[in-house]
Amino acid sequence: MNMRNQLCMAAALLLSFSSTWAGTVTFSDQIGNHFAFRNMTEFGANVPPSSLDLPTLITNPYDTIKFRPSTFLVVESNGPVRESSSLSSELSFALNSLAGLAIQEIKISVTGTYATTLFSNPAADASVGLSLALDLTHGTTVWNRVVPIVKDPTNLSWSGILTLSQADLNSYFSPPSMEIQQLSIRATPTVTADALYANARSQINYLDFTVVAIPEPGSWQLVLAALSMGLLVRKRKTKSVRPW
């Protein structure tokens, strides 16, 4: 085998390896008012480059980390062969309390859009899909969840929301203090498209994680004090009323 053939074979092997190797993209930490989103990474067969734009932090009224995917999936079939494909990656991060406040609620939401076009053929067919699997870890316990997705054929869109309360988290993880201040999250959003004599487009628009902190003891004391003051004033007004 001559040198040119050897180089061609090496290049072919390198291309085949690089297409199957998975990679990781790391995002910088984001610090909210009550929680920090740390060690954010995206891992997948087609990563890098990242399929997610840089995350956006929103701190009003609650701490939210928002991801907007930068890629979409398009499948087109002009012949008798059905074309199918999927696009997926794993997003992982650690959720940490900044001031020892426990998680009162965490909400995961996802939105997406899709489009299908059938060609002039009796066998034409197209379909799309979206799924979002979750792994929530506290200590050594892992809780697997799936976000329910609702498809809206009128608006050619889908959406999904999963809300977990403090009671939900405590019921599954059973922390000794009955308060959870740290949580590791791994989310696997996946879009799929299938076409026969058609084309199909599928994408995720937003992937959000919102965390609500349990109010500080000082806040509760202020609320109770305000309620007590209101009751006291009302009681005094009631006593001051004299029948004619």
Question: Distance (Å, rounded) from C-alpha 205 to C-alpha 67?
Answer: 8
Rounded to whole angstroms, the maximal C-alpha distance in the chain is: 117
- How far apart, in Å, do the first and last CA atoms of the chain sit? 117
Distances (CA, A) of 142 to 64, 65, 145: 22, 22, 10
Supply the pLDDT for residue 17: 36
Number of residues in the chain:
244
Q: What is the pTM of this model?
A: 0.78
User: Comparing 37 with 5, which gets the higher pLDDT?
Assistant: 37
Supply the pLDDT for residue 44: 85
Residue 133 corresponds to which amino acid?
A
Which has the minimum average pLDDT: 50-59, 121-130, 181-190, 192-201? 50-59
Res 137 pLDDT > 60: yes
Q: Which residues on adjacent β-strands are paired with residue 84?
A: 194
Contact 214, 179 (CB under 8 A): yes
Question: Distance (Å, rounded) from C-alpha 67 to C-alpha 229?
Answer: 44
Q: For residue range 176-222, what is the model confidence (pLDDT) as tens digits?
A: 989 999 999 999 999 999 999 999 999 999 999 999 999 865 444 44
Q: Return the closest-CA partner of residue 190 out of 100, 129, 105, 136.
A: 129
Res 225 pLDDT > 70: no
DSSP collapsed to 3 states, the chain: CCHHHHHHHHHHHHHHHHHHCCEEEECCCEECCCEEEEEEEEEECCCCCCCECCCEEECCCCEEEEECECCCEEEEECCCCCEEEEEECEEEEEEEECCCCCEEEEEEEEEEEEEEEECCCCCCEEEEEEEEEEEEEECCEEEEEECCEEEECCCCEEEEEEEEEHHHHHHHHCCCCCCCCEEEEEEEEEEEEEEECEEEEEEEEEEEEEEEECCCHHHHHHHHHHHHHHHHHHHHHHHHCCCC
As a whole-number percent, the residues of the chain with pLDDT over 90 amount to: 67
Average pLDDT of the residues of the chain: 84
